[in-house]
Structure 1
Amino acid sequence: MARFDLTDRTTGERVSLAYDDEGEGSAVVQLHGLTSSRARDRRLGLDFIAGMPGHRLIHYDARGHGHSTGPRVPAAYAWPRLAEDLLALLDQLVPDEPVHAVGKSMGVGTVLHAAVRHPERFSGLTLIIPPTAWASRVSQHDAYVHNAEVIERRGLRYWSSLEKRLPLPPAVRPDRPFTLPDVEESLLPTLYRGAAATDLPPVADLADLDVPTQILGWIDDPSHPVSTARTLHEVLPDSRLAIARTPADVGTWSARIAEQLEAAGERVGGAVVRARR
């Protein structure tokens, strides 16, 4: 595990990101969701690029998650701030070529804000279970604030006992283990309040994002509604959409990403594509 330090623009505090950088070939960076981490994604079977041959695989813990540090200010966890972390990390690790970004849930917000700001840094995007956005973000705001308040009043264990009772989406394996958030308990309410106050980029900005994109959603998950995935598919100029209904469908996602990367390699004829600066 390596570390990359940067300064948060919201607070001026230092943020230290923990990351792994393995393999050789074109670079692929994977981003986890809210309250998760590299390690938690592996335990839950959500590392969709694990062991993918022929690529340089970069995983990192978002600020405040896993082994990364973060400020105790909700605004520091807005998705545009997380996008700045991603861009800074890529400039440090892969300064001379665009990368393929695989974002899940919160990671979708991070990737899209980064790509809207600097599309030349990305050769392709994979957006997995896009979160609530725009109109649907209003109810999610209230749910996240409620989570923060319950954790502050009753503690993480009590909140987790409530979460365990919630039904899983049908595309999630019913035997998937329940895992606690990979976030320090005292910091978790801050992360939830930060997530409550942020959103995906405006639709008009996304309509100008001409980067090859694959969108992978699943059904019956209020926090990751199919409506967001479909709107992204309609708006993004170069996108494909697949909706999972069963765990077997989710089991195809790694192969879908591999096919997307292979197609991207064929488009550039194996040449190294330099970022436009």
Structure 2
Amino acid sequence: MTEQFNINQFNCSISGKGQSLVWAHGLCGCMQSEDAIGVYAWHRFPKKLQLIRYDAIGHGLSTQGESVDDYRWPNLAKDMLRVAEYYRAATPLILGGQSMGCATSLYAALMYPERVKGLILMTPPIGWQARANQVDYYHKIAKAARILGGKGLAKMNAKHLDKMLPSWLIDAHKHSVLGMLDGLKSMKRQTLHQLFTAAADNDLPTIEQLTSIDVPTLILAWEGDDAHPVESAITLQKTLPHATLHIASSMDDVNDWPALISEFCLALNQSHTNTP
């Protein structure tokens, strides 16, 4: 990874020491919006492990990308590994993320398998043929973004949260769920246009590619979200060689996710420690 890299482009957060989990947020999200929704409970992540979070290029407090190409998932994967490399995170790494962060992690594992020891895929995005059917939708949003900007899109999405999240999650987090739109509000028109243009081109790795990702994988999916259908998670679980899938149908199920993430990372850390 010898390409020039400027860490000052990225807003990052690092806590703890030890085995590293590098975490990436979803499309139009950021660390702030993750914290606002109250699902992740990162404050409970084990201090004996290192947690590296960051705002992806063009998101949150990170700088804008220069072109559509900056927002294609393989390039986001390179950014993820560069952030880890800059902070001298010991390899192999655990990589994880939500939605776009899932795809980022998968492409990183494909490009540099020797650097990855485990994956956490939260609410995998729509993929393959189902995603191909959405290409026109992404282009429409890209055009709308040029007119509305981040604040306009956030206002529009606030009226249609049921298209972004399961209804039972919205009901459980009525007072905080709008916080997930905070990151979107500050995004520039050009950034959003480039981001959704890239979304029309992006797709999850092929089935053949997925079969080569030979590391333990934790998949966390939820019911009732068309943008993150359970079908994507099931396909990943069936295709990835060492994947475990948990499907949430209630807030009680989702409340277990922080513990599942911590246990997964601790188990991988223990297995590495015990390796001769």
Which of 95, 100, 114 is 1:106 aligned to? 100
Shift of 1:267: 2.1
Change (3 A) 1:131 1:91: same
Shift of 1:67: 1.3
- Which has the higher mean CA deviation after the structures are superposed, 64-73 or 247-256? 64-73
Which of 42, 46, 50 is 1:49 aligned to? 42
The one-letter code matched in structure 2 to 1:118 is Y
Asked if structure 2 preserves the Cα contact closer than 8 Å seen for 1:19 and 1:59, the reply is: yes
The one-letter code matched in structure 1 to 2:177 is P
Which of 23, 33, 36 is 2:16 aligned to? 23
The one-letter code matched in structure 2 to 1:233 is Q
Shift of 1:48: 4.7
Does residue 169 of the first structure (1) align with residue 162 of the second (2)? no
For these two proteins, the number of residue pairs brought into alignment is: 263
- Which has the higher mean CA deviation after the structures are superposed, 109-118 or 16-25? 16-25
In structure 1, distance between residues paired with 2:41 and 2:218: 13
Does residue 61 of the first structure (1) align with residue 58 of the second (2)? no
In structure 1, distance between residues paired with 2:92 and 2:222: 28
1:185 corresponds in structure 2 to: 188
1:11-52: CA deviation from partner (whole Å, max 9, x where unpaired): xx9981121112112111111001111111101124353341
Asked if structure 2 preserves the Cα contact closer than 8 Å seen for 1:27 and 1:99, the reply is: yes
Structure 1 residue ranges without an equivalent (≥5): 1-5
In structure 2, distance between residues paired with 1:247 and 1:224: 16
Which of 184, 207, 225 is 1:203 aligned to? 207
Does residue 32 of the first structure (1) align with residue 36 of the second (2)? no
In structure 2, distance between residues paired with 1:23 and 1:189: 36
Change (3 A) 1:7 1:14: farther
Shift of 1:230: 0.3
TM-score (norm 1): 0.87
CA RMSD, Structure 1 to Structure 2 (Å): 2.2
TM-score (norm 2): 0.87
The one-letter code matched in structure 2 to 1:101 is L
In structure 1, distance between residues paired with 2:8 and 2:255: 35
In structure 2, distance between residues paired with 1:150 and 1:136: 22
Change (3 A) 1:262 1:14: closer
1:135 corresponds in structure 2 to: 129
Asked if structure 1 preserves the Cα contact closer than 8 Å seen for 2:153 and 2:185, the reply is: no
Shift of 1:149: 1.5
Shift of 1:118: 1.0
Looking at secondary structure, tell me which structure has more helix per residue. 2
Shift of 1:171: 4.6
Change (3 A) 1:255 1:51: closer
Change (3 A) 1:190 1:266: same
Change (3 A) 1:163 1:257: same
In structure 1, distance between residues paired with 2:199 and 2:4: 20
1:152-201: CA deviation from partner (whole Å, max 9, x where unpaired): 23444443333122214135242143124155222222211112211111
In structure 1, distance between residues paired with 2:266 and 2:150: 43
Change (3 A) 1:158 1:69: closer
Looking at secondary structure, tell me which structure has more strand per residue. 1
Structure 2 residue ranges without an equivalent (≥5): none
Asked if structure 2 preserves the Cα contact closer than 8 Å seen for 1:64 and 1:183, the reply is: no
2:115 corresponds in structure 1 to: 121
